[in-house]
Amino acid sequence: MKNAMKPRGLRLPRALALCCAVMPAWALAQQTVRLDGASLTYEQVALVARSGAKVEIAPEARRRVARGHDVVLAAAQADMPIYGLNRGVGAARQVAVLEGQRENAADVRKSSEAFNRNLLISHSRATGPATDAAIVRAALTARLNTALTGASGMQAEIADMYAALLNAGITPVVPRDASVGEADIFLLSYTGLAMMGLGEVLVDGRRVPAAQALRAAGIAPVRPFAKDALAIMSSNAYSAGHAALVAYDLGRLLDRADLVFAASLEALNGNVAPLLPDSVAARPFPGHREAAGRIAALLDGSYLWKKDPARFSQDPLSFRTTPQLHGALRQQFQTLTAHLRTQLNASDDNPVILLDVTPAEGAREQEARYYVKGTVEGRPVTGAVVPTAHFEPVGWALDAQAMAVGLSHLSNHSMQRANRLATKDFTGIDLLDGQPPGSLAGFWKTANVLQTRIYAETVPVSSLVQPSARDIEDVGTQAPLVVERLDHAAELAYRMLAVELAVAAQVVEQRQRQHPDLALGRATAALLGDTRKAMAAQPAPRLPGGDIDAAYLKLR
């Protein structure tokens, strides 16, 4: 534990997850995550966003931000046309701004600040309920870290403001609905408003004017300049930050799903043959071996490893195929988190600011036009300002969409297993026999509704985008909605697993009444025992729905 929670690193995801599970909230809030633009994990995003951990900017990363800003200024001095700096944005991408003022630096600065302010105000077009504060904090964390690559061109003072807001617990109020997933421009603009002291923010759960909150915290509002406004609002930090939080939850969900399945296998008196290493090796799909081995380990010490003539050789498919399904889900999860790690530690800026690059020998005119070499206030500058489509998140948005589909399979397997456990033909146990009125034998409609709801969250939406900005922005990914639906699907999957766990707990209880010496796996025994205690602790009259809720709380 001591090595896992180094305040200047937090580099160990597994140790971090363990610490978050056992450390009190006040201790988590005292942690510090160092951001360097290269090593942010989704676990760290969750620590900052949900637990209130502080952030600090690595000095070398802040220097990169300042150098990137110098490249922007040098390019502007060279009269390069730059999107969002001396040219408009969107449909106005060819419209020159700040013309005729290059001889007077004060006038240029004043006009640029006015342009940046207007850009942020004019793009604050979201509607709907306010986004959860944790998601906004995740977005701030994600954007700060990607800016620390130096590729955004923002002033270093803007990066400082991200850290100041996070560390002071000041969270911009961001309406939920406005982004089609090609940079969350109409959402992230609200974070820029808060930095300027405009709009509203949350402080200790209360909505207050941003200017008031900044004043109370002793934080001076920023005056965005040059490319700052575009850098603040043109990224996928909103959807990526939310995705990081969902990824954190998914890792735990997959672990809990393995444990609930193992408990259900004991409730069924199921066959462990599909878990045997030699059997799995005959069809070595990625993830299958890991899932089967993990489930087998959870059943260590269980009666299922002893021969039983009454045990079926072929269990229902919802039991037999679960190791394959859980293995496939873990593979999909690994793909999603690998892509998220890239997203959280790489630029999605347009244009992208590149440091210390020069045109290749023999570079053609169109290639060479993006490079700049000069000085800014006596500092030598070499780099490039290159138009990109780095705001395209389709690589991981499709992963998130696929993950939601996978969760619908997980939920369906869980529902079917619960149904089989409630059937005497499969278990030899009559759940109604000797049970109080609170028996879960009739949970089918509840499970059916949960499965229908999770299916609705998996309908693909990523290609449902209409052109905007005079048909220039004519595709999208709906990444914020895709992630939101994955979040909902994960919550519903937890609810379905709770139904299964509650039923399994009742079936195992019946088995142990018949066979008091029945041995359970060490892991499953703890889960089933705790669940039964929680279910029995309900106030009278004991409600079947209350049993599901009790099981849900044990899983979460």
pLDDT at 220: 98
Omega cis (within 30) before 351: yes
Average pLDDT over residues 315-326: 98
Per-residue confidence at 93, pLDDT binned at 50, 70, 90?
A: low
Q: Which residues pair with 96 in a beta bridge?
A: 87
Residue 452, pLDDT above cutoff 60: yes
SS3 assignment, position 405: helix
pLDDT at 195 > cutoff 70: yes
The pLDDT assigned to 28 comes to 77
What is the torsion angle, in degrees rounded to the nearest 10, for the CA atoms of residue 206, residue 212, residue 215 and residue 220? 100
As given in the structure block, the two tokens for residue 161 are: 């403001």
Q: Would you say residue 9 has pLDDT above 90?
A: no
Nearest-angstrom CA–CA distance, 238 and 81:
28
Tell me the average pLDDT across 84-113.
68
Q: Where are the domains of the chain?
A: 26-234, 245-344+394-464+475-555
Identify the weakest region by mean pLDDT among 1-5, 143-147, 338-342, 441-445. 1-5
- What CATH topology corresponds to 26-234? Fumarase C; Chain B, domain 1 (1.10.275)
Q: Which CATH number fits domain 245-344+394-464+475-555: 3.40.50.1100, 1.20.200.10, 3.30.450.20, 3.40.50.720?
A: 1.20.200.10
pLDDT value at 438 more than 70? no
pLDDT value at residue 2: 35
d(CA 319, CA 249): 24
State the average pLDDT over residues 328-355: 96
pLDDT tens-digit readout, 507-530: 999 999 999 999 999 999 999 999
> How far, CA to CA in Å, does 102 sit from each of 78, 108, 115?
11, 6, 15
Per-residue pLDDT at 431? 79
pLDDT of residue 3 exceeding 50: no
Q: What is the mean pLDDT of the chain?
A: 91
pLDDT of residue 363: 94
The per-residue pLDDT for 100 is 40
pLDDT at residue 464 in the model: 86
91/237: higher pLDDT: 237
Instruction: List pLDDT tens digits, range 157-170.
Output: 999 999 999 999 99
Which range has the worst mean pLDDT, 121-130, 426-435, 442-451? 426-435
The answer, yes or no, to whether residue 14 has pLDDT greater than 50, is no
Across residues 200-225, what is the average pLDDT? 97
Average pLDDT over residues 83-97: 66
List the end-to-end C-alpha distance of the chain, in Å, as a whole number: 22
pLDDT band at 466 (very low <50, low <70, confident <90, very high): confident
191 C-beta neighbours (distance < 10 Å), count = 28
What is the average pLDDT across 4-10?
Answer: 32
Query: For residue 342, which phi and psi values (nearest 5 degrees)?
Result: -65, -45
C-beta separation of 411 from 450 below 8 A = yes
Could you tell me which residue, 427 or 5, shows the higher pLDDT? 427
Confidence band for 137, pLDDT divided at 50, 70 and 90: very high
- Which pair of structure tokens corresponds to residue 124? 């604050």
Q: Where are the alpha helices (DSSP H) in 169-236?
A: 185-195, 210-217, 228-233
Residue pointed to by tokens 């965005």: 224
The pLDDT, as a whole number, for residue 108 is: 82
- Checking if the pLDDT of 47 tops 50, the result is yes
Residue 102 zone, left/alpha/beta (φ > 0; ψ -120 to 50; rest): alpha
pLDDT tens across 382-394, in order? 999 999 989 999 9
pLDDT at 433: 67
Predicted model pTM? 0.92
Given a cut of 80, whether residue 357 has pLDDT beyond it is: yes
The percent of residues above 90 in pLDDT, for the chain, comes to 79
How much is the average pLDDT of 17-29? 64
DSSP 297-328: HHTTT-GGGS--TTS-SS--HHHHTHHHHHHH
Q: Quick check: 123 and 199 in contact, CB under 8 A?
A: no
User: Side chain identity at 418, as an amino acid letter?
Assistant: A
Q: Has residue 412 got a pLDDT over 60?
A: yes
Cβ neighbourhood burial of 118 (10 Å; 0-12, 13-18, 19+): exposed
Q: What's the sign of the alpha-carbon dihedral 152, 143, 390, 358?
A: positive
